[in-house]
Amino acid sequence: MTFNGWFQIALFSAVIVLLARPLGGYMTRVFAGERTFLSPVLRPLERVFYRLSGVDERVDPGWVSYAVAMLMFNLAGFLLLYAMQRFQALLPFNPAGQSAVEEGLAFNTAMSYTTNTNWQSYVPETTMSYLVQMAGLTVHNCVSAATGVALASATPVAADTKLCTVSPAICTR
């Protein structure tokens, strides 16, 4: 490996180590419901989203609500990605004129990206349009992992178990 390669690895590692403590502290305060330096900006937006979705932030939704919300969110993402693949010939950002992805491949791809297994049996550049790759596959790479992080942070609260003693910062009761 070149010096540049080693330098990039060292720089990336140093940045991660330096950011771990402040970002971890920030996340702890957010999960505990405490005020942070971003609260003046983000709290009003959060209240708007709560009001639009009919959520009362003072009520613990319980594990069933978390499970249903996660399943519905992933179902909506799956259906949107499947539709994007099936209708890509009609969508913008398709300069190569890619035709619709075959049903089975579209289903398999949408399911694998929704579940974060990312199994591919095609060459994206010759099968998927730019829009499907950007707004479909790439977004699902991030969203499927973020779903896991969200569920991991909600599990101790929703399960109402002794997990709160392991990490009391995320249990706001």
pLDDT per residue over 94-126, tens digit each? 999 999 999 999 999 999 999 888 788 888 788
Residue 143, phi then psi, degrees to nearest 5: -65, -40
Task: State how far Cα 159 lies from the chain centre.
Answer: 21
Looking at the chain, list the stretches that DSSP marks H as alpha helix, in order from N- to C-terminal side: 3-31, 39-53, 62-86, 103-114, 124-127, 130-131, 139-159, 163-166
- Nearest Cα neighbor of 34 from 21, 44, 43 is 43
C-alpha closest to that of 76 among 133, 130, 139: 139
Q: CA-based Rg of the chain, rounded to a whole angstrom?
A: 21
Output the six-digit token pair for 143.
């969203």
pLDDT band at 157 (very low <50, low <70, confident <90, very high): low
The per-residue pLDDT of the chain, averaged, comes to 87
Q: What is the pLDDT of residue 5?
A: 95
Instruction: Indicate the pTM of the whole model.
Output: 0.70
Residue with tokens 């995320």: 170
Could you state, in order of their start, the residue ranges of all structural domains in the chain?
1-59, 60-173
Angle, CA of 60, 64 and 68, to the nearest 5°:
110
- % residues pLDDT > 90 (the chain): 60
Nearest to 73 by CA among 162, 147, 160: 147
